[in-house]
Structure 1
């Protein structure tokens, strides 16, 4: 998932919507594309989008006459796969004598 770990402890629908948007960070998704990709009813998706917008985790753009929802840059990983909390790594390292 291209979503930073600190944004994965939100409401389940928020995480699914944000994770789905994170898979297409450059293009974003229309509401219809999002509805097709997320297995939730439209009311749940709209409520989730409202929370994500309020918390500045997504932005809404107008693209060729369509409304497109795009994740904010700060919620995306940089693609290195280094999503492990350093405290967790330190605790595991402490368990084993190196």
Structure 2
């Protein structure tokens, strides 16, 4: 059985949280851009009385990215994960420092 050190686990968790933060940020950006395109399409459709185009844009934007709320929740969750992993790295560093002080 291979047991990772607290420092390695914290570093791995921090990298994972960083990836999750990046993913959530990209999804938020996409959703915001999709909502802007949808709003523009709705305005164009109202001017041209073209309901079919608005429906097509709505369906394509909803199918491409997770919802804005879901992405914001993911971003907050990943932030908490990152903070927890930073604390575990700090604790591992302090414990290692204490062990070195005791043995010297």
Higher gyration radius (CA): 2
TM-score, normalised with respect to structure 1: 0.30
Name the one with the larger strand percent. Answer: 1
Ranked by relative contact order (alpha carbons within 8 Å, sequence separation 6 or more), the top structure is 2
Name the one with the larger helix percent. Answer: 2
